Structure 1
C-alpha cells in the first residue's frame, strides 16, 4: 500500500459549477498508483464538491437555479452577512452539499460513470481561489 497527497488550486470566476475532472485526472496520472481510493477535500465553508452529469449543460443550470431557490440571497433572512448578501446562503449551500468526495481509482483512472464529472460548486458571486487537498491510497 502506498499513499500520495497533493493540492489543487482552482480559480473561480463566478458563482456556479466548475468542472475539475480533468485537473484531478491530470494529478492522478502523475502518481504511480494504479488502484485505490482518492479523497478530494475542499478547504472552504462557502464552496463544495459534487459528482454530477457532465454531458448536458442544462443539468448544471438547473442545479444552480435550485440552490438559488432553497438558499436565496435575501438580506432580511439571515443575521450573518459579514461579506455581503451571498455570505450566509453560501454557507447553507455548502452545508447541503459536501466538502469531501471519495472516488475509486481503477487502472490509474478515476472510476467515474460515463456521464459523471467532478465539480467545484462555488457559492459566492465574486471570484475566489479555492484549494482542494487530494489524498490517494492504493497500490
Structure 2
C-alpha cells in the first residue's frame, strides 16, 4: 500500500507517519509512505497515481488542502482522502472532494486506528477482483 502524508508541521507529519507505520506493521502489511511538508512537494512526488491513501492537512502554508485533494483526485481518482486539521470548521469543505473522513489533530492517536481499520477493510474487500477464465481454469486477479 502506498500512502501520502502532507502537513506543513514536520513534527506532526513524522508522528502521523509513525502511527500509520505502526498500525500496518502490527498487521504485517507492507506499506510505503511518503511524507511531504508542502502541497508543492507532494505534487512533485513521482508516480502519484500509485498512491491509494492520503492524509492531508486542510490548512497548509502555501496551498489549500482541499484544492490539493482535488488535484490528487485528477491524478489518482480512487485515492482515499483523509483530512487532518486542528480546526473543526474546515470539515464541511473536505467533503466537497469526497473525503473519507476528517480527523482532528488533537484526537489523532485515538481516531487514527479506527479510521485505518475502516479504510483497510474496505480496500481488502474480496469482491474487488476480476475473474479470468483461460484453458478451463479460473483465476481471480485483485483489481488493485
Same fold (TM over 0.5): no
Determine which structure has greater relative contact order: mean sequence separation of CA pairs < 8 Å that are 6+ residues apart, divided by chain length. 1
Shorter-normalised TM range: 0.3 to 0.5
The alignment's TM-score, normalised by the length of structure 2, stands at: 0.31
Higher strand proportion:
1
TM-score, length of structure 1 as denominator length:
0.32
> More helix by proportion, 1 or 2?
2
